Structure 1
């Protein structure tokens, strides 16, 4: 069922909506992480997005990463599961979302980076090069990657 969020918003308005997000920590051959600077808030994060009804976690992360980067993920492994206070987001239009995040790790992929409408920039960054304006909902797993916290992580 596509447009799940739109359908639910018609029923509940701006009230908190529980969603499942899947993202990927993608590392290149030099061990750098792929970061995406989004067009909607100019913050940095990792590629990913929300699960659609009927999808698996793997299907979701591979679809979202391809849509946002044009990369095809090969082997993926679980990096961590994230929830908690930082998972509650209020958008400028008043919509509220509590998103449980399933984060994968991938270092084997094919394709060439291509920016879509959601991205201002896609670039690989080393652990010591992370930008200061990380998306606060994604900062916990990006910082866990930076600090080389062992996986899988449940927070």
Structure 2
């Protein structure tokens, strides 16, 4: 059982500050990997909560592998996101204020493998062909990534 689940036993569903890491994995065609989440039916970035003693980059790599089967060979720190935009209430009622360390990854290996406990599907999308139903807290992260890389012809 993870750290957040242990905290939930003590505090119930009231808001927690949750430190998370996510990965914007981009293939050689410039497409972004997304996972369709089971809890809310939205597409989102691979990622999850930091465990005690874990470094953010370790959490990003671990979550990427657990949720998609891909092994990051190189992660590049992109940005830290926090604030009101990153408040989220899960469908089952738990509330969080996310602090998200976002990493980009273009060097990876492995074969796609869906974590069926958390996801329904994983797929690559062109940045101008993203699905409409994106997880709310991932929207500003993806928008930041697109803006930062808007001059890269592979991504447009």
TM-score by length of 1: 0.90
Deviation at 1:59, TM superposition (A): 0.9
Deviation at 1:149, TM superposition (A): 5.0
- Residue 153 of structure 1 corresponds to none
1:84 aligns with 2:83: yes
Q: 1: distance between equivalents of 2:105 and 2:137?
A: 20
- Residue 29 of structure 2 corresponds to 30
- Residue 43 of structure 2 corresponds to 44
Deviation at 1:18, TM superposition (A): 1.1
Q: 2: distance between equivalents of 1:149 and 1:81?
A: 17
- Residue 100 of structure 1 corresponds to 99
After alignment, is 84-93 or 13-22 more displaced?
Answer: 84-93
Task: Give the match's secondary structure for 1:108.
Answer: strand
1:130 aligns with 2:130: yes
Q: 2: distance between equivalents of 1:131 and 1:146?
A: 15
1:19 aligns with 2:18: yes
Task: Give the match's secondary structure for 1:97.
Answer: strand
Q: 2: distance between equivalents of 1:92 and 1:135?
A: 12
Task: Give the match's secondary structure for 2:80.
Answer: strand
TM-score by length of 2: 0.89
- Residue 54 of structure 1 corresponds to 53
Deviations along 1:36-71, one digit per CA (max 9) or x if unpaired, are 111111101110111000100111011110000111
Deviation at 1:7, TM superposition (A): 2.1
Moved over 4 A (4+): none
RMSD over aligned Cα atoms: 1.4
Deviations along 1:64-90, one digit per CA (max 9) or x if unpaired, are 100001110011111111111121111
After alignment, is 45-54 or 112-121 more displaced?
Answer: 112-121
- Residue 10 of structure 1 corresponds to 9
Deviation at 1:11, TM superposition (A): 2.0
Q: 2: distance between equivalents of 1:101 and 1:137?
A: 9
**Number of residue pairs the alignment of both structures matches:** 149
Deviations along 1:76-118, one digit per CA (max 9) or x if unpaired, are 1111111111211112332211110000001000001111111
Mapped contact 2:69–2:113 kept (Cα < 8 A): yes
